Each structure stands twice: as C-alpha cells, then as structure tokens.
Chain A
Amino acid sequence: IAGITQAPTSQILAAGRRMTLRCTQDMRHNAMYWYRQDLGLGLRLIHYSNTAGTTGKGEVPDGYSVSRANTDDFPLTLASAVPSQTSVYFCASSGTSEDTQYFGPGTRLTVL
C-alpha cells in the first residue's frame, strides 16, 4: 500500500465506552496529525506528533489521547466517549511539520 490507512471506516459507539481509532502510514513521514471535521466548521486539530516518541496538543485535545511508539502508527483513543465526540476523524501525515499534509480516508464516529 501507499499512503495512509484508517480503521474502522465507521463506528457507532455507546456513550462511556472506550474507543481507539487506528492510523497507519507507509510514507516514512515524521509528522502525523489527528483532526475532527464537523458540519459548518473547519478541520480542528486534536493532537499531533512531529516525530516518533513525541506528541503535542492541538486546538481541541480534551477527551482524547494519542501515542507515537513508532514512525508508522498514530492511534487516537477516546477514554470515555461522549455524544459531542460524534464527528468525522481524519488522520494526516507530512514529511516534517513544514511539509504538505496528506490525509487518510477518515473514520465516521457516532456516539449515542
């Protein structure tokens, strides 16, 4: 494969449950990002990682956590899902933080 994959494609989740969204890239990009996209709003950055082993908080980090154990994988975890986390989640990557970002296909998450 070439590019970024995300799993699952879509998920319906009960409030209070824990959920991990997976993101894998095979481009050996150093930087990775998690965004959420809600109707009428621009993409909002949740967390980012400029290189393996480091992570940072974006604009809307509350309720989410990430890890970056290696270059390829950047999972996003919702510890206890709430309905306001219903959204489409996109993972992206770039060679470095100064390069163009490329997006995965997204995960549509519904929290009931």
Chain B
Amino acid sequence: GQNIDQPTEMTATEGAIVQINCTYQTSGFNGLFWYQQHAGEAPTFLSYNVLDGLEEKGRFSSFLSRSKGYSYLLLKELQMKDSASYLCAVRDSNYQLIWGAGTKLIIKP
C-alpha cells in the first residue's frame, strides 16, 4: 500500500528553527510537495522537490532523499503566523497526490 508518515503535532518557540519530517512509501515517485494549511482554510502550496537535495525559499527550505523515501521541511525564524498544519504529499506513478495526515505546528511566544 501507499503510505505517508509525518508527526501529528510539534511545538516550537517564536524565533527558533523547526524541522518537520516526512517519510513515504508509494507506487512510483513523481515529486514531493509541502503545503501549509491554517485552521479552517485551504491548503496553500509551499514547495516542490523532485530531485535529491535542498530547495530554499526565504525562511522555508525543503529537502528530499529519494533513496531513503524521506523529506523534511525546515522553517527558520519562526513567527506566530507560522502556526498551522503542514501537509506532505507525494505524486505517484499515476500522477495522483498521496497525502500525509499533516503536522500541526504550534508556535509559543
């Protein structure tokens, strides 16, 4: 079967750095996505990785290791507005997205 695993919840302090991990087992691999979802709102696109390595976009970075079936999202200089759920999704061999259940990130002052 296809499976995406990520921690249910994480807590971090404003101004700090947090790393959210995602491991996956899917039928084929055509890219990995990270989305942010604030409570009661729609998911919004953050990043896309298809090759191994680090993609940096401002305060957010995403890393991929295809051989390990592993990705992480790194958030730097945390702000209160970063309190949200972070969703990991893998595009499989049929070009469908398989989604993790999401990681709820709580930021404390």
Contacts and interface: CB of A to CB of B under 8 A. Distances in A.
A101 interface: yes
Contacts of A90: 42-43
Contact of A103 (B44, B95, B100): B44
Interface residues of A, number: 18
Nearest to A48: B96
Contacts of A106: 41-42
B77 to A, nearest CB: 25
A43 B42 contact: no
B95 A42 contact: no
Contacts of B87: 42-43
B99 to A, nearest CB: 3
A104 interface: yes
A95 interface: no
A60 B89 CA distance: 17
A7 interface: no
A40 B44 contact: no
Interface string B31-51: 001000000011111001000
Nearest to B33: A100
B96 A42 contact: no
Interface of A: 40-45, 48, 58, 90, 97-98, 100-106
28 contacts: A40-B101, A41-B101, A42-B4, A42-B87, A42-B89, A42-B99, A42-B100, A42-B101, A43-B43, A43-B87, A43-B97, A44-B99, A45-B96, A45-B97, A48-B96, A90-B43, A97-B95, A98-B30, A98-B95, A100-B33, A100-B48, A101-B97, A102-B45, A103-B43, A103-B44, A105-B41, A105-B42, A106-B42
